[in-house]
Structure formats: structure tokens, C-alpha cells
Copies of this chain bind each other. A is one copy, B any other.
Amino acid sequence: MGQEEIRRHNVGTLLRHVHLSGSLSRAALAERMRLNRSTIMALTAELTAAGLVREERPTETGRAGRPSLVVRPDSSRVYVLAFDVAVDRLVAARVALGGIMLDRREAVRPRAGADLDCVVKVLAQFGQQLHQAAPPGSVCVGVGASYCGMIRPGDGMVRFGPDMGWVDQAFGTELGRRLDLGLPVPVGNEAHLGALAEQQRGAGLGLRNLIYLHGDVGVGGGIIVGGKLLDGDSGYGCELGHMVVNPYNGRPCGCGSRGCLEAEVGERALLDAARRPAEWFGRDAVRAVVDDADRGDPVAQGALRHVGDWLGIGVANLCNLFNPGMVIFGGMLREMYPGAAAQVRARIATNALPVARERVRLRISALGDDATLVGASELGFSELLADPLGVLARTAR
């Protein structure tokens, strides 16, 4: 590694620590980055001059000696735009360093029939409104988007968006063109971004190994291994919804296979088990089952147990394969999980090896439906955090 590369790396790493922690003393930064205090001071000075962090005297610690200055992200100089295309809504937000949501717009999305043009139009309009409402002098340094489908790494192409019927739609490119901010729009799969968000700011704070299951119509996954999102050879790993759990009596799955986890635990599986009419769907229909179960309705309770058993087999398999520190249930699974937890735990106890399960914690998403949006904002910040001063020099022209 050359000198310039190391400096860039260090500046970015310092800003990342401050961005994710909210505030850190110089001493804590020195310890985390294994650098001496004078180097931290120099790096901080660069970031302060660029308007990305502020240094403050800490509130009284009561300890003797001169307290270490606290470094905080400056939330006024730069921001990113984050977008979320979920199965039932379109969201846009302006987000500051430190992950602070400054402003947002949201619209209900009809479940089917939304073409690329229509979705991009709504989001671009939201984006421009947010951009125009930003205070003078603040700069948009990045954009990130979450999409409820399969995304080609690198160019924001939607390979497959099952619920909208999208195939090979240039979503990222098109949104970037319509926003007209001169910035690329990286796009991530909603479950991938949800996993990263929960790890960076949610239930799995700081964990190096966690699995996030995002349920809605289907079941997506984001799997963090050794601190990094598992991508696989071409960026299409983490498809835990298509793990076959019921090969011979399984329900048909949208992928053409049978007995996939998502066929057994997705929205339709739950609604069918609860004997709801075939034309009912969506989050409200799922909530109604959960509410009925809470009120003691045996059919609804049985449906949650039934689905919980399959979910448990899936999660047990994931424990054996990944030995995760935490499994997080997001999207519609966040609402369903409490009523199915006993079955999930029982399956893990039966089907996962003791060493693979003994430390795993099961949690619902802490960020709720914003997990994917938060993940999109972090995608927007990723270039800035890789090279803060370089990005600022480019965008502030």
C-alpha cells in the first residue's frame, strides 16, 4: 500500500467511525484505528476543514486531566438522497452524516402494474423536492436506492422484480438521469441493504455475523459473514428464500420450483394456512391474521405455528451453515415472528447443532420498515466514506 492510499484510507475510516457512532473522542478513535493521537488530530483537522466533522469539548466527565475532544459528524454540509422501492410504497429521504433523516417523502404504491417510467417519475420528483428544500450551501454527495428484487451488481439494473414483473430494467441509470444531479445511483436488493442497516444502526449493531430475513410477498435475505455482506461469485448470493425445505410435498414457488422457504412462509402461505380468501393480500391482511391470533383465534394461531415450523427449519439450516450471532426478522416477518417464535425455537433446538446455535439470538428488526431505506442511505454514503476529500472536491465544484 502506498502513502497516499494509506492516508485516504485513514481519512475515510475516521469519518466512517464518526458517521456510524455519532460521536467519538479522539482517544477512542486512536484506539479503534490503532494510530497515535497526533495522526488522529491531523486527520480530524482535514475533515473539519472540509466541513464533514466538528470537534467539541465533551460534557464534564468528572475525571481528572484534560478530556479528549469529541469528534462528531457535521450534519449540515453534505447529505445523500436515499430511495426505497418496497412492495407497497415508494419512499425518498434526505439523510445527513450520522444517519440523520432530515426530510422525507412517501407514496403508496399499487402492488402490480407499476412500470419503470412511473416508479422513476415519482421518485425523481421526490428527490428533486428534497434537493431543492435543502439549505443553501449543503451538497448532495451521493444517492442510494433499495429495490424489492434482484439487482445486478455494479450498474443498478433490476434483473428481476417479481412483484412488478420487471425484467432487466435499468432502474439505477434511469433514476440517475431523471434526478439530473450528475451522480450515479447505486441500487441494492432490499434484504441486502436491510441486513447492512440492521448491522450498522439496528438490532445487530456491530455484529460480524448475522442473517436478516425480509419477508413480504417473497422472502429475501441479507447475510453478513465476517462483517461483510455475502455477495457470491456474481453478486446473487443470499437467496435464502429459495432454499428448498420441503422437496416432496412443497407448495409451488414463484421461481418455478417447489417447497422453497418463501413458498412455505411467505405472505400467501400464511394467508392460505389462515384460510383467508385468495384475493386478500398485503401487509394489512397479514396483520389481521396476527391480530386474530393475539385475540385467541385458533385458526390464525395454527397458521402462525404452521408457518413457524417451516421458518424454523429454514433458520436451523442457516444456523448450521453460518453459525450467526443473530437472526433478524424484517418486513412482514417482523409482525409474524412473535406468534411463530416457539416453533422456530423448537426447530432450532432439534435441527441445529448445539455449537452452531448456542450463541444465536433471534430478534425482530429494530429499524422496522425503514431498514431498507437506511441501507439505501448507507449505499449513498459509501463513496464519500471511501474517499471523503476526493468526493467533496468532485461534488462541490
Residues on A facing B (Cβ under 8 Å): 1-2, 5-6, 10, 34-35, 150, 159-160, 207-209, 221, 223, 225-226, 228, 230-240, 242-249, 255-257, 260, 313, 316-317, 320-325, 350-353, 355-356, 358-360
Q: A1-B34, A255-B353, A355-B150 are in contact. Are A226 and B236 (CB under 8 A)?
A: no
Q: Are B236 and A323 in contact (CB under 8 A)?
A: yes
Task: List 10 A-B pairs, minimum CB-CB distance, nearest first.
Answer: A232-B323, A237-B323, A233-B325, A236-B355, A239-B320, A242-B320, A209-B233, A243-B317, A236-B323, A225-B225
Q: Are A236 and B356 in contact (CB under 8 A)?
A: yes
Q: Which of these, B208, B209, B231, B243, contacts A323 with CB under 8 Å? A: B231
> Can you list 16 residue pairs at the A/B interface with Cβ under 8 Å?
A2-B34, A2-B35, A5-B34, A159-B355, A207-B233, A225-B226, A226-B228, A231-B323, A234-B355, A239-B353, A242-B351, A244-B313, A246-B247, A248-B249, A257-B351, A317-B317
Q: Which of these, B34, B237, B257, B324, contacts A321 with CB under 8 Å? A: B237
Residues in B with CB closer than 8 Å to A323 are 231-239
Residues in B with CB closer than 8 Å to A239 are 320-321, 323, 353, 356
Q: Are A240 and B321 in contact (CB under 8 A)?
A: yes
Rounded to whole angstroms, the CA-CA distance of A11 and B358 in the bound complex is 39
Q: Are A352 and B242 in contact (CB under 8 A)?
A: yes
* Least CB separation from A236: chain B residue: B355
* Least CB separation from A314: chain B residue: B244
Q: Are B208 and A233 in contact (CB under 8 A)?
A: yes
Minimum Cβ distance to chain B for residue A312 (Å): 10
Residues in B with CB closer than 8 Å to A1 are 1, 6, 10, 34-35
